Amino acid sequence: MREYVESAVLGGGRPRMPDTPERSRLERERGIREVIFGMQDGVLTTLGIVTGVGAAQPERATILLTGLVALIVGTISMGGGEYLGGKSEREVVRNAIRLEQREMIEKPEDEFLEQVAYYRLKGFTADEAVMIVKRLATNPEVWLHEMMRDEFGIDPRIAEGGGASAAFAMGGSFAGGAIVPLIGYLFPLPYGVSLAIGIALASLGLFAIGAFAGRLSNRNPFIKGAELFGYGALVFCVSFAAGRFIPALFGHAPVSAQ
């Protein structure tokens, strides 16, 4: 048995299970949710930064420069974080798969009994559990998949894929959201008008993002949109207060809007 498992496991590589339409749809929805998160974070982060800076120094050039720097840095940070985080997750899963493969090769009998015990915990009788695991043992790739799921609580298909597409999606969505609060400052308008435009567009953007996320998660879109809108209002209030009153702690009087 050991020689058979060793040949099959090493020859098969990572455990592979056919994708179901439901899993494929869930993976697509998860990707969309990541884009939504990037846009949401872009709107909130930039709104907070330009609001705070504007409250302290309401000059269009200063606000716009600060906002653009935040957009660039945030885009790189979000994209890089998504890439490195996903890469690290896949490496951890691959290491766990290699560990399980080694145990199946070196101690197949122990792994057999361990899998039987898992099926006993699921409510199968001893005879039923042994029969199931014997059938699994004829296809070590599937057996390895089941062991990873039962022992580690993960789907080993997480280790597959990779690439920079998710990083570009996350970084691009952050940039798309971050530009929204800056639109009012792109034109030579008084500070108050630019601020009002930025707040209005950010509010609409946050509500739309929340509503879309609500539809994806089968929640009330209006409630989800209002929830994100309220969070944006909190970010604005805190940022504005910080920009107005923190400078006074360093000997600078609050600057009036021009």
Tens-place pLDDT, residues 106-139: 888 898 999 999 999 999 999 999 999 999 888 8
What average pLDDT does the segment 52-66 reach? Answer: 89
Which pLDDT value is given to residue 161? 65
Name which of 171, 198, 181 is nearest 37 in CA terms.
Answer: 171
pLDDT tier at 100 (50, 70, 90 boundaries)? Answer: confident
- In our burial notation (b when 16+ CB lie closer than 10 A, e otherwise), range 177-199 reads bbbbbbebbeeeeebeebbebbb
Which pLDDT value is given to residue 257? 44
What average pLDDT does the segment 206-223 reach? Answer: 88
DSSP 170-209: HHHHHHHHHTGGGGGGSSS--HHHHHHHHHHHHHHHHHHH
pTM, rounded to two decimals: 0.75
- In this predicted model, which residue has the larger pLDDT, 90 or 204? 204
Which pLDDT value is given to residue 16? 56
- In this predicted model, which residue has the larger pLDDT, 257 or 80? 80
Cβ(198)–Cβ(47) below 8 Å: yes
Q: How many Cα atoms within 13 Å fall on the side-chain side of residue 183? A: 17
pLDDT tier at 155 (50, 70, 90 boundaries)? Answer: confident
Which pLDDT value is given to residue 258? 45
Instruction: Check whether 222 has a pLDDT greater than 80.
Output: yes
What is the domain partition of the chain in residue ranges?
A: 2-10+28-247
What average pLDDT does the segment 29-38 reach? Answer: 78
pLDDT tier at 20 (50, 70, 90 boundaries)? Answer: low
CA distance 199 to 112: 61
Instruction: Check whether 33 has a pLDDT greater than 50.
Output: yes
